[in-house]
Amino acid sequence: MVRFSFLILLFFASLSVAFAQMEEPDTTFLAEIDSILNEYEKMEKQRKVEEIIKAYDEKQLEREMSFKFDGALHFVRGLLLTWTDDSYIKRDARFKHHGDAVNWADYAVGGIPLAANWALKSAGIKSRSKTERMLTANAMALAISFGTSEALKHTIREGRPDMSNLNSFPSGHTSLAFVSATILRREYGYISPWVTIGGYTTAASTELLRIHHNKHWMNDLYMGAGIGVMSTNLAYFLTDKIFGADAINKPELRRRDVERLLKFNEKPSGFTFVSGTEIGDHTIRFDDARIKTGASFSAGADVAYFITQKVAAEFITRVVNAQAKVFDTPNIFTGGHLNIYHFDLGAKMSWPYALGKRLSTRAFAGMRHMNGDCLTDGTKSYTIPNETKFELGAGVTYDCLDTQNYAWGFTCDYYHTFSHYLKNRYSISSSWKILF
């Protein structure tokens, strides 16, 4: 009986120990399970991140190999100016002939971006293309551009402002300059936004030189720019059909690309280079004649500082050059140039309506300085007035963040100057922005 009672007690004691062990599990074992679960979650997150990065890289490679239409705007401008400035271009005037030596100097300026492209390649700096792709695309772009320009020159036979020949339309120098700038942007634009800005600033300088040297009308320049950009895009597109993706040093997602996107949507303070045309009032009246200007070449820079996500202060500058002719007289006068300089301070309201895209409105005020040449027929002269006047203006801007370190877009502005001469003017420009 005693033995049976002892066994009963031993049984219940064993049950108590078992239940106690169930209530107090092994903490080391649980810690190991928790560690494994944490590692698993990290691996899952890493896998998802790698999938996102891979998808982004594949999308960027697809964009690199697609045909781009960013030169189409130049064509539209060129065609519009060919139509609107037709009567102005046909009016006779004797613009100064600067000699044929300027042609080679202007070619040298236009070829700077292409020379920089191959200098970087020779220095071993990684380009977007492998050598076979770069050589083929560059040669094809130059051939398409040159062939198209020469075919149009000998078909249309438009006279130059200096009356040196009938090969004005389109501008071959501008075509070369924009081929060079577009090649540099496509190959090395991913390194720094200043590469792209530098290339297109040089191309715009070539345009200004051709106007200053009286070799082209404005429509010639825009058609040349469009031919240059589109020839380059077509050349790369065709080259990729030949070599495929293997000839491309594939784009990759970088931390600074993400940081730039966040900054663009938060406070996109930065420097913007603009190049375009200024139109509007184009007549200065005298008692017996008028001086008329054609569409004007415009270039400049804007600096914007964002106080909040939507409000910014701006400093706006423009340099404008226009050719001028005397009308309403049977005599043929010399042609000349009108120069306008804008310096304005403004306030901008900006809305990030989509990821990497902004639409803005702005109002500004400042000063406009204007001066120009004296136009004469040898016996009588008309002088373009020199003046500095207060001006007000307003406009809209559009910015789209590019994958190569900068934002591109356009600006449309209206200027009202408190003057008797050319008081209502409009500016339409392409833009390239670098974030601070």
Instruction: Please state, in angstroms and rounded to a whole number, the distance separating the CA atoms of residues 60 and 251.
Output: 6
User: 26-40, 90-104, 240-254, 376-390 — which is least confidently predicted?
Assistant: 26-40
Instruction: Please state, in angstroms and rounded to a whole number, the distance separating the CA atoms of residues 121 and 109.
Output: 20
- Quote the crossing angle between the two packed helices 112-122 and 172-188, to the nearest 10°: 30
Give the pLDDT band (50/70/90) at residue 6.
very low
Overall average pLDDT of the 138-166 stretch: 96
pLDDT at res. 5: 54
H/E stretch holding 291: strand 290-293
Written as one letter, the residue type at 16 is S
Instruction: Please state, in angstroms and rounded to a whole number, the distance separating the CA atoms of residues 63 and 55.
Output: 12
Secondary structure of residue 170 in the 3-state scheme: coil
Instruction: Calculate the alpha carbon distances from 399 to 128, 353, 356 in Å.
Output: 24, 11, 8
Spatial CA neighbour of 271 closest among 326, 315, 238, 218: 315
Residue that wins the pLDDT comparison between 48 and 146: 146
The torsion angles phi and psi of 366, rounded to 5 degrees, stand at: 175, -145
The torsion angles phi and psi of 38, rounded to 5 degrees, stand at: -65, -45
Instruction: Calculate the alpha carbon distances from 55 to 48, 49, 229 in Å.
Output: 11, 10, 29
User: Quick check: 28 pLDDT over 80?
Assistant: no
User: Quick check: 17 pLDDT over 50?
Assistant: no
Give the pLDDT band (50/70/90) at residue 255.
confident
Instruction: Supply the mean pLDDT for the chain.
Output: 90
- Top-level class of domain 73-252: mainly alpha
User: Quick check: 368 pLDDT over 50?
Assistant: yes
| Domain boundaries, given as residue ranges, for the chain | 2-50, 73-252, 255-436
User: Quick check: 41 pLDDT over 70?
Assistant: yes
pLDDT at res. 16: 55
Overall average pLDDT of the 6-35 stretch: 57
Secondary structure of residue 399 in the 3-state scheme: strand
pLDDT at res. 29: 67
User: Quick check: 123 pLDDT over 50?
Assistant: yes
User: Quick check: 403 pLDDT over 80?
Assistant: no
User: Quick check: 281 pLDDT over 50?
Assistant: yes
CATH for 255-436, options being 2.40.160.20, 1.20.1250.20, 2.30.110.10, 3.10.28.10: 2.40.160.20
- Scanning the structure block, which residue is given the tokens 């008309």? 382
